[in-house]
Amino acid sequence: MARSHLNAAIIGLGVGERHISGYEADPRCRVVALCDLDAQKLQEVGARSPGRHLASDPQVVLKDPDIDIVSIASYDNVHCEQVVMALDQGKHVFVEKPLCLFPEEFHAITTALARNPHLKLSSNLILRRTPRFIQLRERILRGDLGQVYYLEGDYDYGRLHKIVNGWRGKIPFYSVVHGGAIHLIDLLLWLTQKRVERVFAWGNKLATAETSFRYFDFVVALLNFRDGTQAKVTANFASVTPHHHKLCVYGTSGSFVQSHLGAAYLTSRDPSQPMEAVTDGYPGTAKGDMLPSFVRAVLDGTSPDVTAEEVLEAMAVALAIEASLASHQPEPVNYDWQLTP
């Protein structure tokens, strides 16, 4: 039965607090419940956003029949369990990256989606909302750069303390690919509308060798697309830089480059020809900006900014990168999960 309004809940009130305004940007949606394991944080966020039910147990929220849609912004290692439970309790799901950590979790989520085909799932792959990347995609799809044959995407995290001192280093497994590079993976897939066939990856933890962090803090992966296009993606959590997303797109008629120094289009091999400086906003987004389109998708039957299939495709590439890190061999991307023929 179609709904005229939605009751939303948010689990995890770090970045999740910023989901409140995103949901309520659509007057048909109201955040009615907030959940966090940290009692102090729960009370502080509740005081800033009064009038909501406050819960310390995620299952209370997930099993509440009056909640229609849930944001999952908890620690990465519980995303799968909470996504599957939310779907099986009849709730639409908006999940912070990563969707999950392991192939078996990925399978559990795709199976739950297949059991509940009427439910929507999306993820906060927010680079799609960056104005200069929207403009870049329009130029690529219009053919302004010619045939795109190579791309580079670098996730310069610039927040090393978060993995050394924060929860990321304390959970049973943390992936800089799933937690960081996934943004660039999704961006490259969205920009090109192409599918990755195979990946080859390497990693190191030289920057955190003397710390308690146990996992790679740097990963580089080569992506081979089905049409022969190549790409390189890095998760550089050790970077001595501000947080930034470097991006290069090379086509047969032009190139786009973005670094810490700025962004530009180049349309000539002649060094005397001027570059076209890019002034469109970067990043130009807030963490809740994708939620209004998700609410519209649920209530109006439109497409969200990121569909479930797109979330799964980016995650499948990330999982293949992790598989290559373990095997030291090229690994295929698994597309057996496809939700539609």
Q: Per-residue pLDDT tens for 218-276?
A: 999 999 999 999 999 999 999 999 999 999 999 999 999 999 999 999 999 999 999 99
Q: What's the CATH code, domain 127-277?
A: 3.30.360.10
Q: Are strands 53-55 and 262-266 parallel, antiparallel or unpaired?
A: unpaired
Q: Do domains 6-126+288-303 and 127-277 have the same CATH topology?
A: no
Residue 124: count other Cβ atoms within 10 Å of its Cβ. 27
Q: Is residue 25 a contact partner of residue 292, using CB atoms and an 8 Å limit? A: yes
Q: What is residue 287's predicted lDDT score, i.e. its pLDDT?
A: 87
CB atoms within 10 A of CB 121: 25
Q: What is the percent of the chain where pLDDT is above 90?
A: 96
> From start to end of 207-268, where are the E strands?
218-225, 230-236, 244-251, 255-259, 262-266
Please say if the pLDDT value at position 178 is more than 60. yes
The topology under which CATH files domain 6-126+288-303 is Rossmann fold (3.40.50)
Domain boundaries, the chain: 6-126+288-303, 127-277
Confidence band, pLDDT 50/70/90 cuts, at residue 1? very low
Model confidence at 21, pLDDT cuts 50, 70, 90, reads: very high
Alpha helices in the chain (DSSP H): 19-24, 39-48, 58-62, 79-88, 103-115, 131-142, 160-165, 176, 182-192, 291-300, 308-327
Residue 140 has pLDDT above 50, yes or no: yes
- Tell me the pLDDT tens digit for each residue of 264-313: 999 999 999 999 999 999 999 988 999 999 999 999 999 999 999 999 99
Give me the percent of the chain exceeding a pLDDT of 70: 99
